[in-house]
Structure 1
Amino acid sequence: MIKNKKILVVGAGNAGRPVANLLNFLDNSILVNDLNSYDDLPKKAQKNIDILKNRGIKFLLGSHSKIAIEDFDCVFISPNIPKTSPFIKKLMAAYSNGDISLITDRDVGLILNGLIHIPMIGISGTDGKTTSTNMINYIMKEKQETLIFSSLQSSLVIEGLVEMIINDEGRNKDLAIFELPHGTIRLVNGLDLSAGLLINLTPDHMDEFNSYEEYIERNIAIKDLIDKKGIIIANGDDPIISTRLNTIKSRYIVYGLKNPQKIEFDDKSYYNPNLEYDVFAEDIKLNGLYGSSFKMKTSGFPTLVCDKCGLINCDCENIQYKNILPFEREIVLKIPGLVNVENAIATISMGLIFGLDLDYLINRIGNFNGVSGRFEKIDIVNDVNIFMDASHNPESMEKLLNGLKISNRLIISVDNPDTLTPRDKFKIGEVLSKYTDLIISSSKNETTEVVDIDASIEIFKGVNCGPCGENDVEFFITDSVFKSIFKALSIAKPGDTILHIGPGVVNAYDNVKNDIKNGIEFFKALSGKIVLIGGCGTVGSLMARVLNDNGFEVTVSDSCKSSYLEAIFKDEGIGLDLGGHSEDIIKSATAFFLAPSLKENKKVFSKINKYLKSLNISNIYGVEDILDNFSTNKIVIGVTGTNGKTSTVHILKNIFKTAGLKVPEHNLNLQGNTELIPSLQARLNGDVSVVEIGTFGVKGEIERSVKGSFIDLGVITNITKDHLKNVNFNDYINCKKELAIYVDDLILNGDDINLINFKKYNENGDNTFYGIKQINEDIDNEDVEDKEFVYENSIIDHPICPICKNEIKNINPILNNLGKFKCLCGHTNPKLDVFASNIQFIDFNEEINTNNLNKNSNNLSNSNYNTNSNTTSNSNTNSSTNSNNNQNTDSNNFLNYKNSGKHIKYSLNIGKNHGEIILSNSGIYNVYNSLAAAATAYNFGISFEDIVKGISSFEGVPGRFELINNSPKIILDFAHNPAGVVSVIQTVFSIYEKELNDKNNKLIILNSISSESGMESDIQMAKTLSKGDILIPISQSSIVATDKADLNNLVVNEKNLNAKNTKNNKSNEKSLKIIKLKGKYDFKKEGTLGASKEQIKEAIEIAIDLANENDIILILGEAGIKFSKEIIKNYLK
């Protein structure tokens, strides 16, 4: 024995800890040292370290640098620590020099052997150790006092044996039974086992070994632990064990099913030789989940029982052992699977060699209900059985599933097969696909608690290459067992079986089992009656609808007495409890969901929680539970950008609906989006989902929306300065760039200089560019000064090249920052995949044929020329110009178009497809919006004919250039940034050019904009709005900006400028009247809501009083959109 020494134990893992514990028990002073910090060690190790610290063992973790070797008498080096480590080399050098003694594995084994005085049974092999250990203990414990150590008891054998010694647990015991995993079998070298069981030796944990042979030698070492009087029971079906029986020095018994296996590893195959079985099974009948029956046969085999005294391990001279005579008996098992037939044969044989009666053993094994975590039944829900099993490698899974007959569908849930050891996940996928058509893979490594989606993807690849193939196996990925079980139950039908497998059942048994139970409880709670409190709000209503769409019974309970969503709730079958919370409805609920506003309000939540608990209700959930446990099974398209998001979304939806597809709507009265709305909307029932994302330009916002909404296809309309209150423009661009980074396929505006460069962030995906084809796109020969003049007149900054960071001089602007660019560094517009050409303004009354597809070149100015933006055709230019009298051939600036129409007509070009589009919601910005929608729909697979019909039948979006009155014309628009304001003003002057050129008519502008871009942008918008005749600033920011912009001086300068460039134009007589509200209002800005209803009312009354029947009143900003219709309706009665 080693006593009274100062001992250094290197390694705080499964070997080092029990050795330190044992040596500490022998009155040695112990320091355990490990390179890993405490936090880097598994939680189970941390727990055991805390126990050892309380016993006086010291730990130095995270570094070897503070260790002074000369302070120690002895050192123990854990077996798995690399011998190449500099610190280990230093220790071995000290040992060679005689400066320190080395404690070996065998020293530890001999110490243990000297302290244990009862017979021991050891079980070794790759798979089935825990089941066999517990099965043997089950038959033994009725006849003897046993000690058991297995992973099921959360006890490694070495830890269990040491604790047995320290606590003197073996004093009143007759037998110790333990499994011998490969990691600690070396530490019991020196033990004398009375009996051993060698189950199988398939490849596993191969990252810890240099070769398969090394792995075999480690595990087969149990044969050398058998006492000279002992017996080892060996599986003859295993090709490795059966070929090495001649190396066993003790007596041995060969068992099996007479079903020789083949092992293939590293391009080598291993086969069984012909051999005689001592005991085996035949006539096996598998009864699915209800066990099996078979005949057990033997030709006889020896026992451990002395024929003279009837004892085990006796001291009789010339000892003779009793033998088991040949027999054939029927065995019936409750536990299912072929692998348990194998385990039962070995267990009965073990009982027989210890002298137990055969009839007792047959009866006892027949009553065995299984082992926790080994085909353990967890629950039955809606006639769906739920089991879990510790199978964690291809071979153990094959054994478990082979012959497992299930009447209905088998749904397999699998946790991450990796532990600290990576496993062959591809092969696991191949194996599983042979036995099921539905697999749910949790990516969470239950040992390290790290989510690794690549592990699930590798399983999926194996499934696709399996015998069934990708088309026959449904495959889902989650990030926890909880979600997997909930998903499985959501899919399962009565009679199905859910089986969860994986190493987590061994290494994190309690966590995995709790996850399974919690998943079941969550499903049960939702399967009853759900009450959603606060369901009339924006997020709450969508929560209710998602739950309802997933087949659960939902009632919305809200304190509000009515809701504009009532009709939708009723139409979708959602119950309503409005104007209070009915106690009867509350009491009938099995689950409660709270809208985020209620759950985040501590005072309100506390009150609700207290009330629900008084009714013994504990199942209270939130939006995160919906997002975590419900996904979408359709393509989701995410649309972002500065302007045009909402219109693009609505046009795209109209195209899909025209094509006969169902598109889920959130049906909410709101401007913009929170992150939760697209995530919930994407989960509503439908064929394809289109969501608006990235409203606020906040870092991480789009990334979270992409992941939360499962976006497959991304659309970016444009990028201009907006929401810049706390960030600069580059930061804003980077926010939008997140879509390019996290989505594979992109639809990009090819006329936006800021978007063109996004393709480099999406090199592995598909990039589709859309834009407007100009009549003359060769901008190299254009007059730079003229172009700069036109551009500056739009009140937009010069674009900065994203490549060289210099101002771009060669520009042909089309709309705001959109147009044709060519930087001196060579950066220019890409080739357009989808484009508009031959753009015209037409009168309301012009005959329209929305089915006019594949027009000839006379109506398509660009139908015959190359789509490369640097190539044009003179003949096409002439023909398009001659055939369209209303079109101004200077398409570089659409503000100067000579027209008096109200619609826009253009030719849509996608590849070889050409068709005529009529836009009822006029404006060049809507040409771009419709192009974005067309490119997206075409990418999705919608026919060109349906795209044309869908765009041409689109009637517009409320609040987006919405005409709500004809005389005077009153237009609402949600413009809220400089580019949006310029677009609206350009559209007004384009559509109503005839009216506005009449000096008797006025453009009256009401500005309620409350931008998120700071005062500089507010001033820029005020300057743009000076093009009107009367300007009424309403919001506080617009009032301040109007004052700072010095608009009257600006108008005078603009008048002089226009006089030099135009003739007989109303702008030469330009004057601007600014009217401020007289009322005193104390309104605080709320996001982009910049004015109250009362402010809007006063402004509208002023405007209508000033307007004649041909005037145009333009109301801008969110407040105008929100309040104007009701005010005007009442005012004009």
Structure 2
Amino acid sequence: MDIKELTASIEGKLIGNDEFFSIDGFTGKFTFLNDAHTGDIVIRHWIDETGIKIAFDKNIACLITQNPKGCAVEMANKLNFPLIITDKIELANAYALSHTIEKFSSNSTNIVITGTNGKSTTSHLIYHILKTAGYRVLTNTDSESEFNTLIDPMVSKLISDEVINNGELDYLVIEVSEVQGWLGNLMENHAALMSEAINPKVGVITNIAMDHIGLVNSIDDVFNEITAVPEAIGDGVCILNHDDEMVMKLDAKNPFYFSMSELDLENAVYYDGQAILYHNKSILTNDQLPFTGNHFIQNILSAIGACISIDLDMNDIIGGVKSYRALNRRFAKLNDEPLIYDDFAHNPDGIRATISETIKLLPKNQTLYVVCAIRGSRGVEINKLNVEALVESIGENMELILSSSNDVVNDLNYVTEDERKVFFDTLNENDVEFVHYDNLDECLKETYGKADKKDIILLIGAQGMDPAESLLKNII
């Protein structure tokens, strides 16, 4: 690859030197400016003249950006340093991902997971099954889902670092956000673009629901972002949620289905209420499952479907599922008396599903305390949909407690007055009683203090609820 080929591939414009800057050319590694070494390529959403000077001093091959600030262009010309400017930084990151996989992991079998809910649990479960079976595998899923956006070269860096330090990989399990944007602007076709770059043998589509309000504003918008994913997967197998009406509208060449109801299909795995079945034969019973909530069983089904589709031995699949432990904040039990569950339910479907599953565990005449962190700095629209989901879900023997979590969030996750108001107004209009706390620590202390030992406390929400486990340790 030369720099002109790279520039053309990402629809960029080359400034400064028309050759790679480092004396030995390009190392093959895409990375961040702080981590870059001689011959690496850096991708940054923005760069100024100081960044250009740092790149020059580090002797990197070239720098790619979407937004040159200050005197970045003038500095690149002055230093005769190669700077590529592209209007679509996602093209650069997709190119980096594709190039990295081809160079460092060309023999791996690749699996991609996308959809609105359940991506992280499904990805992590597939990763666990493969790792337990003895394979060398890498995933970009972690407990906080920090690396699944693919809007920077992090995953490319993870892959190259892993292979250089520890040897070749057998599998890549890559989680891809179904909708993505930068500074409020939608990166169109993100999921399909990244899926194609990964060149997967198997692609999982968990469901299609509303999230990322502002980037998309209707379920049809979400569908349009995902609709090209099966085409990007090409001849690979698409693992599809048979229970999701929108997913079933997708046109997949090689579908494999999963369902919470019996399916009379050869290419399917399903749950009948007592066990998971494949080819109408039980492979895992309820008492062997790591968790039994319906939305988690759907994740198990999709992971099993993916592993079947890469011809993994069924005994390895069963063993991996049975030994799995959930990611942090995926219906994690934090305490026994009272029962406290913590879940990363941050959109309407997640809220409904998590509350519904928790209600099933509530003893008769006991109270379920639903403690919800309002989503900060995410806009009125998503918070309105979230509070409407709460209105639908709150019933008898349930109390609703809200937190703005001012004491634990940064300015990027601060709850605005409009976001708080839409919560309060919607609840008041529907005669739903609630208590609100500005600070999460006080919210948790008060709720824990009044809960009976047989009650259940359910913690839900995104960033505003992330520190709850550590706070509760001190409280309890």
| TM-score, normalised by the number of residues in structure 1 | 0.33
**Structure 1 CA distance, aligned partners of 2:401 and 2:312?**
45
Contact 2:371/2:459 (8 A) holds in 1: yes
* Alignment correspondent of 2:435: 1075
Contact 1:714/1:747 (8 A) holds in 2: yes
**Structure 2 CA distance, aligned partners of 1:704 and 1:680?**
18
Go from structure 1 to structure 2 and tell me whether the alpha carbon gap of 1:1020 and 1:735 turns closer, same or farther (over 3 Å shift).
same
After superposition, the C-alpha distances for 1:745-780 in whole angstroms (9 at most, x for unaligned) are 311011111111213xx3xx3111111225xxxxxx
Q: 2:219 pairs with 729, 743, 763, which one?
A: 729
Letter in 1 for 2:296: N
Structure 1 residue runs without a partner (length 5+): 1-412, 416-441, 452-478, 480-510, 536-543, 545-588, 775-828, 841-905, 1052-1072, 1080-1094
**Structure 1 CA distance, aligned partners of 2:198 and 2:466?**
28
Matched, 1:922 2:257: no
After superposition, the C-alpha distances for 1:45-99 in whole angstroms (9 at most, x for unaligned) are xxxxxxxxxxxxxxxxxxxxxxxxxxxxxxxxxxxxxxxxxxxxxxxxxxxxxxx
**Structure 2 CA distance, aligned partners of 1:720 and 1:629?**
32
Contact 2:113/2:119 (8 A) holds in 1: yes
1:927-1006 matches, within 5 Å, as 927-990=297-360, 992-993=361-362, 995=363, 997=364, 999=365, 1001-1006=366-371
Contact 2:373/2:465 (8 A) holds in 1: no
* Alignment correspondent of 2:203: 714
Go from structure 1 to structure 2 and tell me whether the alpha carbon gap of 1:1019 and 1:1125 turns closer, same or farther (over 3 Å shift).
closer
Q: 2:51 pairs with 596, 605, 609, which one?
A: 605
After superposition, the C-alpha distances for 1:490-514 in whole angstroms (9 at most, x for unaligned) are xxxxxxxxxxxxxxxxxxxxx9xx8
* Alignment correspondent of 1:1045: 426
How far off its partner does 1:595 sit? 6.9
1:1000-1015 matches, within 5 Å, as 1001-1010=366-375, 1013-1015=381-383
Go from structure 1 to structure 2 and tell me whether the alpha carbon gap of 1:450 and 1:681 turns closer, same or farther (over 3 Å shift).
closer
1:556-575 matches, within 5 Å, as none
1:352-501 matches, within 5 Å, as none
Contact 1:769/1:832 (8 A) holds in 2: no
Go from structure 1 to structure 2 and tell me whether the alpha carbon gap of 1:921 and 1:737 turns closer, same or farther (over 3 Å shift).
same
How far off its partner does 1:1119 sit? 2.5
Matched, 1:1118 2:462: yes
For the residue of structure 1 that corresponds to 2:303, the secondary structure is: helix
* Alignment correspondent of 2:269: 835
Contact 1:1033/1:1042 (8 A) holds in 2: no
How far off its partner does 1:1023 sit? 0.5
Letter in 2 for 1:1128: L
* Alignment correspondent of 2:440: 1096
1:634-645 matches, within 5 Å, as 634-645=108-119
Go from structure 1 to structure 2 and tell me whether the alpha carbon gap of 1:950 and 1:1121 turns closer, same or farther (over 3 Å shift).
farther
Contact 2:143/2:329 (8 A) holds in 1: no
Report which of the two structures shows the higher radius of gyration computed on alpha carbons.
1
After superposition, the C-alpha distances for 1:1025-1044 in whole angstroms (9 at most, x for unaligned) are 42362211224477434423
**Structure 2 CA distance, aligned partners of 1:919 and 1:653?**
17
* Alignment correspondent of 1:674: 149
Letter in 2 for 1:630: T
* Alignment correspondent of 1:596: 44
* Alignment correspondent of 1:266: none
Matched, 1:534 2:37: no
**Structure 1 CA distance, aligned partners of 2:173 and 2:305?**
14
**Structure 2 CA distance, aligned partners of 1:961 and 1:604?**
45
**Structure 2 CA distance, aligned partners of 1:711 and 1:520?**
35
Matched, 1:1032 2:401: yes
**Structure 1 CA distance, aligned partners of 2:48 and 2:136?**
39
Go from structure 1 to structure 2 and tell me whether the alpha carbon gap of 1:450 and 1:1019 turns closer, same or farther (over 3 Å shift).
closer
Matched, 1:908 2:277: yes
Contact 2:111/2:172 (8 A) holds in 1: yes
Contact 1:532/1:594 (8 A) holds in 2: yes
Letter in 2 for 1:640: T
Go from structure 1 to structure 2 and tell me whether the alpha carbon gap of 1:1105 and 1:1048 turns closer, same or farther (over 3 Å shift).
farther
After superposition, the C-alpha distances for 1:1081-1120 in whole angstroms (9 at most, x for unaligned) are xxxxxxxxxxxxxx22121112112212222111111225
For the residue of structure 2 that corresponds to 1:967, the secondary structure is: coil
* Alignment correspondent of 1:494: none
Structure 2 residue runs without a partner (length 5+): 12-16, 65-91, 164-168, 181-185, 405-414
**Structure 2 CA distance, aligned partners of 1:1112 and 1:980?**
18
Matched, 1:696 2:179: yes
Contact 2:343/2:459 (8 A) holds in 1: yes
After superposition, the C-alpha distances for 1:534-582 in whole angstroms (9 at most, x for unaligned) are 34xxxxxxxx7xxxxxxxxxxxxxxxxxxxxxxxxxxxxxxxxxxxxxx
Go from structure 1 to structure 2 and tell me whether the alpha carbon gap of 1:732 and 1:708 turns closer, same or farther (over 3 Å shift).
same
**Structure 2 CA distance, aligned partners of 1:721 and 1:1110?**
34
**Structure 2 CA distance, aligned partners of 1:671 and 1:450?**
32
How far off its partner does 1:941 sit? 0.7
Letter in 2 for 1:1002: T
* Alignment correspondent of 1:743: 233
**Structure 2 CA distance, aligned partners of 1:667 and 1:773?**
28
Contact 2:110/2:172 (8 A) holds in 1: yes
Contact 1:1008/1:1033 (8 A) holds in 2: yes
How far off its partner does 1:936 sit? 0.7
Go from structure 1 to structure 2 and tell me whether the alpha carbon gap of 1:654 and 1:1018 turns closer, same or farther (over 3 Å shift).
same
* Alignment correspondent of 2:70: none
Q: 1:663 pairs with 137, 160, 168, which one?
A: 137
| TM-score, normalised by the number of residues in structure 2 | 0.73
* Alignment correspondent of 1:1107: 451
**Structure 2 CA distance, aligned partners of 1:1103 and 1:714?**
42
Contact 1:1009/1:1116 (8 A) holds in 2: no
After superposition, the C-alpha distances for 1:956-979 in whole angstroms (9 at most, x for unaligned) are 121110111222222111111111
Matched, 1:755 2:244: no
After superposition, the C-alpha distances for 1:182-232 in whole angstroms (9 at most, x for unaligned) are xxxxxxxxxxxxxxxxxxxxxxxxxxxxxxxxxxxxxxxxxxxxxxxxxxx
RMSD: 3.8
After superposition, the C-alpha distances for 1:978-1021 in whole angstroms (9 at most, x for unaligned) are 1111110111022x14x2x2x2x321111114266535413322
Go from structure 1 to structure 2 and tell me whether the alpha carbon gap of 1:526 and 1:657 turns closer, same or farther (over 3 Å shift).
closer
**Structure 1 CA distance, aligned partners of 2:423 and 2:115?**
27
How far off its partner does 1:928 sit? 0.9
* Alignment correspondent of 1:522: 25
Contact 1:1033/1:1039 (8 A) holds in 2: no
Contact 1:718/1:752 (8 A) holds in 2: yes
**Structure 1 CA distance, aligned partners of 2:8 and 2:155?**
28
Letter in 2 for 1:977: N
Matched, 1:630 2:120: no
**Structure 1 CA distance, aligned partners of 2:441 and 2:309?**
45
**Structure 2 CA distance, aligned partners of 1:531 and 1:742?**
25
* Alignment correspondent of 2:60: 619
How far off its partner does 1:1124 sit? 0.9
Letter in 2 for 1:674: T
How far off its partner does 1:679 sit? 4.9
Letter in 1 for 2:115: G
For the residue of structure 2 that corresponds to 1:1075, the secondary structure is: strand
* Alignment correspondent of 1:568: none
After superposition, the C-alpha distances for 1:780-837 in whole angstroms (9 at most, x for unaligned) are xxxxxxxxxxxxxxxxxxxxxxxxxxxxxxxxxxxxxxxxxxxxxxxxx994732334
**Structure 2 CA distance, aligned partners of 1:696 and 1:1038?**
22
For the residue of structure 1 that corresponds to 2:276, the secondary structure is: strand
Percent identity, aligned pairs only, is 21
**Structure 1 CA distance, aligned partners of 2:266 and 2:391?**
33
* Alignment correspondent of 2:388: 1020
Go from structure 1 to structure 2 and tell me whether the alpha carbon gap of 1:708 and 1:526 turns closer, same or farther (over 3 Å shift).
closer
Go from structure 1 to structure 2 and tell me whether the alpha carbon gap of 1:1127 and 1:839 turns closer, same or farther (over 3 Å shift).
same
